[in-house]
A and B are shown apart, each in its own frame.
Chain A
Amino acid sequence: MTYYLVKRLAIGLLTIWGVVTAVFVVIRFAPGDQATVALGPDATVEQVEALRHSLGLDRPLLVQYFSYLGDVAALDFGESYRYGRPAMQAVLERFPATVTLTLTATVIALIAGLLLGVLAGQRPGSLLDRAVSTFTLGLQAVPPFWVGIMFILVFALQFRMLPSAGGGSPAHLVLPAVTLSIPFTALVARISRSGIAEAMGEAYVQTARSKGLTERSVLSGHVLKNSLIPVVTVVGLQLGNLLGGAVVIETVFAWPGLGSLLVSAVGNRDFAVVQAATVLIALCVIVLNLTADIVNAKLDPRIRLEAPR
């Protein structure tokens, strides 16, 4: 267990280093000088030079890189020129909204996905199974950002049931959370369906049935528990993609989270915010994946998080 955790943590640190370095390299490749962009077209040459100097842009690239790595290690990403305060502060302010959104979407995906999975997996090959499977395939393929706009068109503009954009109230949360959950609902449904369909043919299910248990308690007591394990594994691995999806969906619904902040920071070339947001998201993904592994080991005693012998 300890060996495993240390290994995963090391990979996590490596990931953060990789992401930080990639962003550094991409920013250096960006057309246009950071100082020129920040000051706008009216700045004089002296002003630009002064800002370049204070940002350290006139130093050799490697020196810039290492001092940047040092700053990142101290979680200091510098000032956001757009918001006029430390970038990390601006990013952390938006963080709770993103957590609320992704957590709600996860819960929706788990409930709806398991429900679909049970419906389909109970009688593999039945008409219901094929109908649900086709439906989940459709869910997996639709572009979520477009479905989000369709939701706005129908529920906000036509029926005026829900607000179309912004944040602040539970009603604002409904459309973005449902939209974000769509591909993950499909994923959970597919995995739980194949797990349940497989378990239905196992000997222990036959035993449970021959003991005279109702179909209901066979399902809840024997089948579900065993088919939940792959669901936890995959959901844990996919949480990173959920965060990635949130970036797009937040922009659709103007949800005041990390994602919409990141997209506008990329557009505004507010590199301090881009870097801070990227590192925070990478940290989240790593912690989430690690948590999923640990939960998995707790659920399935056959999984031992140990050193390979």
Chain B
Amino acid sequence: MTQADLLGADPVPDVEAPTRRRKRPLAAVPYVIIGVYLLAAIIGPLLIDYDPVRTEVTERLLPPGSQTSTGTAWLGTDAVGRDMLAQIVYGARTSFIIGIAVVGVCGTVGVALGALAGYLRGLSDAVVSRLIDILMAFPGILLAIIIAGILGRGMHVVIIALSVGGWVGFARLSRSITMSTRERDWVDAARIMGVSKPATLTRHIVPFLAGSVIALATIELASAILAEAALSFLGLGLPPDVVSWGQSIANGREYLETAWWITVFPGIALTILVISIGLAGDRLTRRYTRKRD
């Protein structure tokens, strides 16, 4: 699922519509999975004790299910004796914090710029559109690599790096919906009744963005989480004491032959989460996408 799917509405009429009322128990699965991850991210760290800088040399590279001094390492331990399950739980927290922050920043900036450009037209539209053109022409992950690599380390650096190119999708979507909504009768009516421009925009146009923006935000959350993992995998952005799935995957590469669990489990955790968010986003997109120009 990409921005393109949201912008160019699905041309095939939804033939399944009448039968959709039928209960599909599997449909809830992605939401349940996302819920479990969120719970793990929020309360997991309260239940599991994990110190990213504490090392236990006698307990290094233990396979899944081994006994350690602090209990059973269900998913094994890494090269310095840290528990993998705890790393995955703490990594979920990092992924959500960064993903939600990036989507929050991008959504706010993108919707504001897109709606303003689409509503005001003229110079502001030209400026925003050229900015979109520029950022569209350059791969976002590359921009993030350069920014995160050069600016040093920290969570805020990663959030900035991923947000610089990430707002474009929101801006494009908001601009195109605003441009078609502003031609509608109720907007004319508001103008005739003397409603001010800012009030027209916020009360009569922006509410119509909500559905599509939420659908896009879901998809962008998945890509932000993936991009954060890729950055951490390359060793850019996050400081070493922040646990991240990408970093765990990178740490395990040296021990692939002897201790596959260090690389495999964080990757599975990442994949399942991203697929679930993608499925949820797909469904939201199908619900909110209408044919528009």
Which residues of A come within 8 Å of B, CB atoms?
11-12, 14-15, 18-19, 22-23, 26-27, 29-31, 124-125, 137-138, 140-143, 145-146, 149-150, 152-153, 157, 187, 190, 194, 197-198, 234, 237, 240-241, 243-245, 247-248, 251, 262-263, 266-267, 269, 271, 274, 278, 281-282, 285-286, 289
Quick check: A22 and B143 within 8 Å, CB to CB?
A: yes
Q: Is the CB of B274 within 8 A of A149?
A: no
**Interface size classification for chain B:** 35 or more
Do the beta carbons of A11 and B278 come within 8 Å of each other? no
Q: Which residues on A sit within 8 Å (CB–CB) of B150?
A: 26-27, 29-30, 266, 269, 271, 274
Q: Are B278 and A141 in contact (CB under 8 A)?
A: yes
Cβ of B11 and Cβ of A194 under 8 Å apart? Answer: yes
Is B275 touching A141 in the complex (CB atoms < 8 A)? yes
**A152 CA to B260 CA in the complex, in Å?**
11
21 intermolecular pairs with C-beta atoms under 8 Å apart: A11-B130, A11-B137, A12-B137, A14-B130, A15-B133, A23-B146, A26-B147, A125-B15, A137-B1, A141-B274, A141-B275, A146-B249, A153-B263, A157-B256, A197-B12, A234-B4, A247-B142, A263-B145, A263-B236, A281-B142, A289-B137
Chain B positions 106-131 with a Cβ under 8 Å from a chain A Cβ: 130-131
Query: What residue in chain B is nearest A158 (Cβ atoms)?
Result: B257
B252's nearest neighbour on chain A, judged by CB, is A149
Is A30 within 8 A of B151, CB to CB? yes
Are B145 and A266 in touch, CB under 8 angstroms? yes
Contacts known (A30-B150, A153-B256, A240-B139); A143 close to B230, Cβ less than 8 A: yes
Complex CA distance for A51 and B147, rounded to whole angstroms: 24
* Chain A residue at smallest Cβ distance from B143: A22
Closest-by-CB residue of B relative to A32 is B152
Partner pick for B267 among A150, A157, A243, A266, CB 8 A cutoff: A150
Contact at A247–B149, with CB atoms within 8 Å?
no
Interface of A is mostly: helix
Residue B279, interface by CB 8 Å? yes
* Chain A residue contacts of B263, Cβ below 8 A: 146, 149, 153
Decide yes or no: A145 and B256 within 8 Å by CB, A14-B130, A15-B138 being known contacts. Answer: no
The chain B residue with its CB closest to the CB of A138 is B275
Interfacial residues of chain B within 64-89, with CB under 8 A of chain A in the complex: none
Determine the distance from Cα of A263 to Cα of B1 in the docked complex, in whole angstroms: 28
Contact of B275 with A137 in the complex, beta carbons under 8 Å: yes
Complex-state Cα separation, A201 to B274, whole angstroms: 33
Do B137 and A143 touch (CB < 8 A)? Answer: no
> Is residue B270 within 8 Å, beta carbon to beta carbon, of the partner chain?
yes
Interchain CA distance A55-B142 in the complex, whole Å: 26
- Name A201's closest neighbour in chain B (CB-CB): B12
What is the distance, in angstroms, from B286's C-beta to the closest C-beta of chain A? 12
- Docked-complex contact B275 and A198, CB < 8 angstroms: no
C-alpha spacing A137/B164, complex, angstroms = 27
Q: Decide if B40 is an interface residue (CB 8 Å cutoff).
A: no
Chain B, Cβ-Cβ closest to A263: B234
Does B201 have its Cβ within 8 Å of any Cβ on chain A?
no
In the complex, A153→B253 CA distance in Å? 9
Residues of A within 8 A of B145 (CB): 247, 262-263, 266
Give every chain B residue within 8 A of A124 (Cβ-Cβ). 12
Minimum distance in angstroms from A249 CB to a CB of chain B: 10
> Is B140 engaged at the interface, CB distance under 8 Å to the other chain?
yes
Query: Would A140 and B1 be within 8 Å (CB), given that A23-B146, A26-B150, A150-B267 are in contact?
Result: yes
Residue of B nearest to A251 (CB): B234
Query: Taking the nearest CB of chain A, how far is it from the CB of B91, in angstroms?
Result: 13
- Shortest CB-to-CB span from A4 to chain B, Å, is 14
Q: Are A248 and B12 in contact (CB under 8 A)?
A: no
Contact of B152 among A18, A23, A30, A150 (CB under 8 A): A30
